[in-house]
Amino acid sequence: MAKEIDESKQGQSLVLQADNNNSKKLYIESYGCQMNFSDSEIVASILSKAGYNTTDTVDEADLVLINTCSVREKAEQTIRKRLEQFNVYKRKKPAMKVGVLGCMAERVKHAFLEEEKIVDMVVGPDAYKDLPNLLEEVEEGREAVNVILSKDETYADIAPIRLNSNGVTAFVSITRGCDNMCTFCIVPFTRGRERSRDPYSILNEIADLQARGFKEVTLLGQNVDSYLWYGGGLKKDFSKASEMQQATAINFAKLLDMVAIAQPEMRIRFSTSNPQDMTLDVIDTMAKHPNICKYIHLPVQSGSNRILKAMNRLHTREEYFALIDSIRERIPECAISQDMIAGFPTETEEDHQDTLSLMEYVKYDFGFMFAYSERPGTLAARKIEDDVPEEVKKRRLAEIIDLQQKHSLYRTQAQIGKTVEVLIEGNSKKSDKEWMGRNSQNTVVVFPKEDYKIGDFVMVKITDCTSTTLIGKAVKISNERQ
């Protein structure tokens, strides 16, 4: 739940320009959060060097991979159905190999390989470099599995191949794993302990993206605010580092500052933040640099202190309010979005009303809202009975969604009459005569094309809106980045 999940991208197959030296074909499909899609780019890069070009046609593939998510039950059900479909192709083409990657691979490895026998290999999130070796095992008729979680793997030395890219925006992973043991979340068990990537490898990757014409990067991690580089190693071991390592350590605020200074013409975003880990120096760094977008995804999950404690969220309602107040004070124009879970075990009507009142206080720009579903392997599944009836979960979720739609419209209406900078990403979904882009606050903006092009920063005067989209007319090219 801690990651933004774009429903429109679920199951998207990834294709890149072919290398004429490669003779085999890879079909790779991704589900879940943006971290999974970013990982698929790393996998494509590794396999490109092993002789594979990507394809968007399953039946011509030599290797079919599905990069999986364990956050929600719906995602797992979808993936199982897709594996059944892939096996229909495999019966027609016995040489085809099928593999499962990612979070679900780690969690249900035995079922996939031994019980259901629907895949040839299972590869966890920290084992992608082992793919060429695992493929050799498969080719020799053996099942292949590597779901070992690493204490140091960050893929800092792999240059991801940008798949299905618009050539304008890109994601750059800065951390892997998570140390926050939220009781509803499977991520710490599927992605391992938290470790940070060498900041100079991050700067080099972003510099390469800028040289290739990209205009915006999102620094990506399960919890970016916990970023801490002191020469390598787990964050939990920082106290054991030498005095010199501790004195020269780089935290997230410093990394953000370094990236913003190094690439003043690029827009910088980050996701996802955690209320208990976000510090005021991060907010101050955002306020200081005009090229850092004024948007924070700040999951809260519940407005009830009792439920927050049951979730092992290490912040209270009051501490969350104080953080919101600090953001509003330092960056008045900052947009804030949420993750919210309706119907967590033992949630009462009073707890639910606390969530609604928290939403009224913050008035989020948008959000990602779900009814609780028990995930096998989580602390909640092991220790707390899922006792809220489904019809109650659905009703509470509907009330949360209705309130969020009201607040989203309130936020977009406040933009009418303003002129905002928009980075053009591509065609509007509804009309090929209009461009679509996003403003600093991450709100979608559509406007007539005129003589502008993809990748332009354009000043757009907002004339109308829906609850999710700003509508306007381009005024001129932005002077900010000339």
Classify the phi-psi angles of 167: left when phi > 0, otherwise alpha if psi is within -120 to 50, otherwise beta.
left
Which domains occur in the chain, in start order?
A: 7-146 (3.40.50.12160), 169-412 (3.80.30.20), 418-477 (2.40.50.140)
Partners of residue 217 on adjacent β-strands = 170, 268
CB neighbours of residue 449 within 10 Å: 15
CA distance 80 to 147: 19
What is the pLDDT at residue 120? 86
CA distance 37 to 30: 6
Exposed, middle or buried by CB within 10 Å (0-12, 13-18, 19+), for 203?
A: middle
What are 60-80's pLDDT values in tens digits? 899 999 988 765 666 677 888
What are 198-257's pLDDT values in tens digits? 999 999 999 999 999 999 999 988 889 999 999 988 888 999 999 999 999 999 999 999
pTM of the model: 0.78
Contact 2, 339 (CB under 8 A): yes
Report CA torsion sign: 369, 374, 380, 383. Answer: positive
CA distance 217 to 71: 25
Q: Is 293 annotated as a binding residue?
A: no
Task: Give the pair of three-digit tokens for residue 43.
Answer: 């996998």
CA distance 405 to 333: 19
What is the pLDDT at residue 5? 47
Cis peptide upstream of residue 272 (ω within 30 degrees of 0): yes
Instruction: Measure Cα distances from 267 to 144, 261, 293, 408 in Å.
Output: 41, 11, 6, 23
Q: Is 103 annotated as a binding residue?
A: yes
Task: Give the pair of three-digit tokens for residue 226.
Answer: 């916990």
What is the pLDDT at residue 407? 98
Exposed, middle or buried by CB within 10 Å (0-12, 13-18, 19+), for 117?
A: exposed
pLDDT of the chain along its 482 residues, tens only? 334 445 545 555 555 556 778 889 999 988 877 777 888 888 988 898 889 998 888 988 999 999 887 656 666 778 888 888 888 888 888 889 998 888 777 667 767 776 667 788 888 888 888 888 888 888 877 778 877 666 666 666 665 656 556 789 988 989 988 888 899 987 777 777 888 999 999 999 999 999 999 999 999 888 899 999 999 888 889 999 999 999 999 999 999 999 999 999 999 999 989 999 999 999 999 999 999 999 999 999 999 999 999 999 999 999 999 999 999 999 999 999 999 999 999 999 999 999 999 999 999 999 999 999 888 788 898 999 999 999 999 999 999 999 999 999 999 999 999 999 999 999 998 899 999 999 999 999 999 999 999 999 999 999 999 999 999 999 999 977 65
What is the pLDDT at residue 343? 97
Q: Is 185 annotated as a binding residue?
A: yes
Q: Is 264 helix (H, G, I), strand (E, B) or coil?
A: coil
What is the pLDDT at residue 22? 83
Residue found by looking up tokens 């938290």 in the block: 194
Q: Is 465 annotated as a binding residue?
A: no
